[in-house]
Amino acid sequence: MAEQEHVPHVRVAVIGSGFGGLGAAVRLRREGVTDFVVLERASGVGGTWRDNSYPGCACDVPSHLYSFSFAPNPDWPRAFSGQEHIRTYLERVADVFGLRPHLRFDSEVKLMTWDPDRLHWAVETSSGPLTADVVVSATGPLSDPRIPDIPGLDSFPGKVFHSARWDHDYDLRGKRVAVIGTGASTAQIVPAIQPLVGRLTLFQRTPPWVLPRVDREIGALERRLHRALPFTTRLRRSFLWGIRELQVQAFTRHPGELGLVERMARRNLARSVPDPALRARLTPDYRIGCKRILLSNTYYPALTRPNAQVVAGLSEVRGSTLIAADGTGTEADAIVFGTGFHVTDMPIADRVVGADGRTLARAWSGGMQALRGATAAGFPNWMSIIGPNTGLGNSSMILMIESQLNYLADYLRQLETLGGRVALDARPEAVDAWNHKVQERMKRTVWNSGCTSWYVDAGGRNTTLWPGTTTEFRAATRRVDLGEYRVVRAPVAAAPAGSPAGTRTEARA
């Protein structure tokens, strides 16, 4: 019999090379952990900022706040940077922090299975197998596009693609283009393609609230100042952070305070859309903030142009005719789906098999939940970056990512302190207690005020957002409380036959 092929082993396997994955890699190196790999299914870093290259793609968080605190960038060209600048920034992070040797491109994770005998994860990838003591899942919630099940879509003879899989080889000039959905991507796509296409039809189920985007070019003098005096970059970031910390109370505790913001949005709509019929069609019927607030100076004006129209949501496709919910038909040459991602039903969960043989998807069948947004009961030494209830509705996700990196670092320190072959498994009661506290706080937030959004899962629970400030979350994830975990140790060498492969010991608080 041929000798079994050697399977490489690492201390930590990180999945994904977006902000979460690269941030984890930097933190691992800073903690002295160099035995790790970053598994990436694509051929380059960037995550959502690699995949989303549609026309007009940009961030709706200010550039100096949407970057790592340990990797400030004095050369952001605009207050709100475009996709190409953010991806360039992430490439530079990979270079400056020496992450290239750890990156494994074209290595999509097919399956992760916890081995209770060896206390490690067996990871199957498209480039071969490996094992890891700890897995850090940084795939992110905005990674797998969601296209709704539209009757007759397969019969459409034209071009169909999702905003996150933009077909740059397809020429939209002069075409009849249907855009489906009214999320943040659509608000950027519509004004970018409207001047090019022959006819643009926006299929809208629910109109968004839209505020002006206070964007501007950052001049050469400002950039030179930030380079010469780095503390000015830190001050700018701190100011942007502080403003958003003050604002979050209106979203999480006192939704009534958003009335002023709603009046601003209504004035913006009135100024931008003179036609009363179109204005009525674009006016939301839910409290501002319940769904994501969009920032754009060009979305409304684009929809007022002669070659643009707004119709009800798409309900059926009959050949090249698209049928709206109100029964009207529109001819189209191309369909662009701006319908978001699998956020509350992330596909990666189907590929994680825990200690009892259940997949993470099955464990989360009643709704996602994780201890401090990071660990799940029954899945030892597995941690998520941007896990359940860690999203933000008004600030930078980089702040949350860095807090979770603190938790990851202390998690690894605790494993080292315990010594030997050991794993930590979140106690079910600790996960339940954390989730209960989060959901109780969620009840008074604007996100639970009655609208339908991608924040909410099929059961009506908001499993996406964090109902507090980033300061609160950082405090909650500063240290690992061993009292919230069971310690799983490797089997004793002299254990009698038939005894369990691993032993659980109760961790002391």
Annotate 215-243 with DSSP letters as a single string: --B--HHHHHHHHH-HHHHHHHHHHHHHH
Is residue 423 within 8 Å of 380, Cβ to Cβ? yes
Q: Are 326 and 391 in the same domain?
A: no
> Residues 480-492: what's their mean pLDDT?
92
Kindly report, residue by residue over 251-301, the tens digit of the pLDDT. Answer: 999 888 899 999 999 999 999 999 999 999 999 999 999 999 999 999 999
Rg value, the chain, Cα? 24
Instruction: Tell me which of 337, 366, 388 is where a domain ends.
Output: 337
Q: Are 250 and 370 in the same domain?
A: no
Q: Are 413 and 482 in the same domain?
A: yes
pLDDT value of residue 5 = 66
Q: How far, in Å, CA of 270 to CA of 300, rounded?
A: 10
Q: Which residue has the higher pLDDT, 497 or 191?
A: 191
Least confident of 3-12, 207-216, 284-293, 402-411: 3-12
* Number of domains, the chain: 2
Mean pLDDT of the chain: 94
Instruction: Tell me which of 292, 310, 337 is where a domain ends.
Output: 337
Q: Is the pLDDT of residue 496 over 50?
A: no
Q: How confident is the model at residue 3 (pLDDT cuts 50, 70, 90)?
A: very low
Instruction: Tell me which of 295, 319, 337 is where a domain ends.
Output: 337
Residue 1 located in a structural domain: no
Q: How far, in Å, CA of 141 to CA of 373, rounded?
A: 13
Kindly report, residue by residue over 229-254, the tens digit of the pLDDT. Answer: 999 999 999 999 999 999 999 999 98
Q: Coil, strand, or helix at residue 504?
A: strand
* Buried residues in 31-60 as b, exposed as e (16+ CB within 10 A): bebeebbbbbbeeebbbbbbbbbbbbbbbb
User: Which residues on adjacent β-strands are paired with residue 137?
Assistant: 15, 384
pLDDT value of residue 315 = 97
- Two tokens, residue 354: 């825990």
- Two tokens, residue 266: 């209504």
Kindly report, residue by residue over 430-451, the tens digit of the pLDDT. Answer: 999 999 999 999 999 999 998 9
Residue 230 located in a structural domain: no
Domain with 208 in it? 153-214+239-337
pLDDT value of residue 156 = 98
Is residue 67 within 8 Å of 89, Cβ to Cβ? yes
Element (H, E) at 398: helix 397-418
Q: Are 347 and 490 in the same domain?
A: yes
Q: How confident is the model at residue 386 (pLDDT cuts 50, 70, 90)?
A: very high
pLDDT value of residue 492 = 62
Q: How far, in Å, CA of 311 to CA of 191, rounded?
A: 17
- Bridge-based pairing of strands 36-39 and 9-15 is parallel
Cβ atoms within 10 Å of 220's Cβ, excluding its own? 10
**Residue 447: C-alpha distances to residues 63, 206, 368, 417, 468 (Å):** 25, 15, 17, 41, 12
Q: Are 262 and 128 in the same domain?
A: no
Q: Are 371 and 491 in the same domain?
A: yes
pLDDT value of residue 491 = 76
Q: Which CATH number fits the domain that encloses residue 13?
A: 3.50.50.60
Across 70-119, the runs of DSSP E, i.e. the strands, are 103-104, 109-115
Is residue 14 within 8 Å of 138, Cβ to Cβ? yes
pLDDT value of residue 396 = 97
Q: Is the pLDDT of residue 73 over 80?
A: yes
pTM listed for this prediction: 0.93
